[in-house]
Amino acid sequence: MSDNIYYEKSIGLWMSDKKSQKLNWKELIKACNSHGYNLVKLDLEQAFEDQGKIDVFLHKLTDVIAAADQGDAKAAKIIRRVEQYLSNHPNITVIDPLDNVRILLNRYYYYSILQDESSFKSHGIFTPAFAEFPTSNIKDNIEIMRERGVRFPVICKPTIAHGSKSAHEMILIFNERGLSVAKPPCVVQSFVNHNAILHKVFVVGNRYHICERPSLKNFYASEDLDPIFYSTGEVCKADSQSTLSILDPNDETGIKMHLNEEKVKDVIRVIRKKIGLILAGFDVVIDNTTGNHAVIDINVFPSYDNFPNFFEHLLDCIEDTIRKSNSDCSLEENGRIEDYGGNHRPNGLINIGDSHNYEVMGMNII
Ligand SMILES: Nc1ncnc2c1ncn2[C@@H]1O[C@H](COP(=O)(O)OP(=O)(O)OP(=O)(O)O)[C@@H](O)[C@H]1O
Ligand SMILES: O=P(O)(O)O[C@H]1[C@H](O)[C@H](O)[C@H](OP(=O)(O)O)[C@@H](OP(=O)(O)O)[C@@H]1O
Ligand SMILES: [Mg+2]
């Protein structure tokens, strides 16, 4: 994977072909080498022991873990082998630990972690009311929604957040008769009107980057509307141009709701403390009536689209993690996200984009 210079340490990397095709391998190898690491592209079909010594295991195994947890024997065998290898090599830095990644495989589970976060309410942060449908019995599901304060319109999402294309297949449901399309196991989450603006926060350890994406226009409960099926990829990518994102004329409020960076940092602190991932992303929409910030989704190792110098920040963070684990004081143990070393910058934000499609690099979350 790299020129014939010997590098003392190695990063073993595995990700799906789908993700791998989007990766700029040349740039990643350059960043690894500049930090004194070889980059080894691991093969899950071969024993890791036969693929060279690694010091860091960097992965996005979400699809394989999800398949294993759903009973896929081949995937289960792979995950067992990976976990056995890592337990035989406790000095390998894993980014991120499989048990932490598992937290984000189940939407109901991680929504519950967010909902239970007591600090959010007073900071104007929330996760929309949600409920899980264990069966497709509409009467039972209406009762479950009532008990949990979930109100139409709702977005129906697969409970399992990764592992197949269907994990991103969403359904907007406007009334009780629309619940007939919900296919359990699934969660329903109250829809938050947010003027079709999605804020994606990409996190690498203590650093984050925010970008705006198209989202869904404002919707209201209605007995007349049939469910709307969509996939996230067709509505919320940077280049998406879905009619679902075009605000209705009477919704053109002209008021721009500004993302509050302090709220973003609060969410990052909670994710780092309660979920403990180095590589994560989350989606925020701003309630257009209250201005409160709704965290509607958290992702493992997302795209890091437009994250400036992502690979450099990744390697810095890997080295930071190794340094901290060697000094045996984990970030999560003391519950604080500390300042990090490196090119210390003021705790400010560097506005690196125009105000419309703004992108803001946040450094040093304290
Ligand atoms: N509660 C909600 N209120 C308003 N819009 C929502 C809500 N939940 C989801 N959405 C819209 O649906 C999109 C997809 O939802 P979500 O992010 O949960 O799905 P996902 O497939 O896991 O996304 P990703 O591609 O980020 O993994 C969001 O980007 C947003 O546009
Ligand atoms: O541009 P984003 O970060 O929104 O796209 C992500 C998406 O949010 C999910 O994290 C995808 O992961 P899966 O849920 O596992 O499909 C990412 O796909 P990946 O192939 O990069 O892992 C998207 O990049
Ligand atoms: Mg999302």
68 and 108 belong to one structural domain: no
Ligand 2 nearest-atom number relative to CA 19:
20
Torsion of Cα atoms, 325 then 327 then 332 then 335, to 10°: -170
Task: Using the mean position of ligand 2's atoms as its centre, give its distance from the Cα of residue 6 in Å.
Answer: 33
34 and 136 belong to one structural domain: no
| Ligand 2, CB within 6 Å, residue ranges | 18-19, 22, 60, 62, 162, 167, 200, 281, 299, 302-303, 305
Is 207 among the domain residues? yes
296 and 310 belong to one structural domain: no
Is 4 among the domain residues? no
Per-residue confidence (pLDDT) for residue 253, from 0 to 100: 73
Q: How many C-beta atoms lie closer than 10 Å to residue 340's C-beta?
A: 22
Task: Using the mean position of ligand 3's atoms as its centre, give its distance from the Cα of residue 283 in Å.
Answer: 6
Per-residue confidence (pLDDT) for residue 2, from 0 to 100: 53
Candidate from 228, 232, 257 with most ligand 1 atoms within 8 A of CB, to mutate: 232
* CATH number of the domain within which 39 lies: 3.40.50.11370
246 and 323 belong to one structural domain: no
Is 50 among the domain residues? yes
Task: Using the mean position of ligand 2's atoms as its centre, give its distance from the Cα of residue 147 in Å.
Answer: 32
231 and 208 belong to one structural domain: yes
* Chain segment 177-196, per-residue pLDDT in tens: 999 999 999 999 999 999 99
* CATH number of the domain within which 235 lies: 3.30.470.20
* Chain segment 282-294, per-residue pLDDT in tens: 999 999 999 999 9
Ligand 2 nearest-atom number relative to CA 305:
1
Per-residue confidence (pLDDT) for residue 353, from 0 to 100: 28
* Chain segment 6-23, per-residue pLDDT in tens: 788 999 999 999 999 999
Bind-site residues for ATP: 107, 157, 189-200, 215
Residues lining ligand 3 (ion), CB within 5 A? 283, 297
Per-residue confidence (pLDDT) for residue 324, from 0 to 100: 86
Per-residue confidence (pLDDT) for residue 256, from 0 to 100: 77
CA 45 – CA 111 distance, rounded (Å)? 34
**Average of per-residue pLDDT values in the chain:** 89
Is 281 among the domain residues? yes
**Structural Rg of the chain based on CA atoms:** 21
CA 278 – CA 100 distance, rounded (Å)? 10
User: Which of 32, 36, 12 shows the shortest CA–CA distance to 85?
Assistant: 12
DSSP-derived letter for residue 22 is T
Is 41 among the domain residues? yes
The answer to whether the Cα torsion of 332, 334, 335, 340 is positive or negative is: negative
170 and 267 belong to one structural domain: yes
Question: What residues contact residue 165 under an 8 Å CB cut-off, 6+ apart?
Answer: 231
78 and 155 belong to one structural domain: no
Per-residue confidence (pLDDT) for residue 330, from 0 to 100: 45
Mean pLDDT of 24-38: 97
Q: How many C-beta atoms lie closer than 10 Å to residue 243's C-beta?
A: 7
* Chain segment 65-90, per-residue pLDDT in tens: 999 999 999 999 999 999 999 999 99
Per-residue confidence (pLDDT) for residue 292, from 0 to 100: 97
Final residue belonging to a domain, choices 285, 300, 315: 300
Quote the number of domains for the chain.
2
Is 2 among the domain residues? no
Is 364 among the domain residues? no
232 and 345 belong to one structural domain: no
Contact (Cβ atoms closer than 8 angstroms) between residue 94 and residue 86? yes
Q: 97: cis peptide before it, omega within 30°?
A: no
Burial class (CB in 10 A: 0-12, 13-18, 19+), 3: exposed
CA 131 – CA 134 distance, rounded (Å)? 10
State how beta strands 130-133 and 186-190 pair.
antiparallel
Per-residue confidence (pLDDT) for residue 366, from 0 to 100: 42
156 and 70 belong to one structural domain: no
Mean pLDDT of 309-335: 77
With bands split at pLDDT 50, 70 and 90, how would you rate the model's confidence at 361? low
Domain that holds residue 214: 103-300
* Chain segment 104-139, per-residue pLDDT in tens: 999 999 999 999 999 999 999 999 999 999 999 999
Check pocket membership of 300 for ligand 1, CB cut-off 6 A.
Answer: no
The ligand placed nearest to the CA atom of residue 194 is 1
Mean pLDDT of 147-153: 98
Per-residue confidence (pLDDT) for residue 348, from 0 to 100: 30
Percent of the chain with pLDDT over 90: 80
Ligand 2 nearest-atom number relative to CA 300:
10
Say yes or no to pLDDT of 328 above 70: no
89 and 108 belong to one structural domain: no
Per-residue confidence (pLDDT) for residue 365, from 0 to 100: 56
User: Which of 252, 171, 172, 244 shows the shortest CA–CA distance to 213?
Assistant: 244
Mean pLDDT of 214-222: 97
CA 218 – CA 165 distance, rounded (Å)? 25
Nearest CA to ligand 1 atom 31: 215
344 and 234 belong to one structural domain: no
ipTM metric:
0.97
Task: Using the mean position of ligand 1's atoms as its centre, give its distance from the Cα of residue 215 in Å.
Answer: 8
Candidate from 242, 285, 304 with most ligand 1 atoms within 8 A of CB, to mutate: 285
* Chain segment 194-212, per-residue pLDDT in tens: 999 999 999 999 999 999 9
Check pocket membership of 297 for ligand 1, CB cut-off 6 A.
Answer: yes
Is 107 among the domain residues? yes
Highest mean pLDDT (candidates 62-76, 243-257, 346-360) = 62-76
185 and 295 belong to one structural domain: yes
Per-residue confidence (pLDDT) for residue 352, from 0 to 100: 23
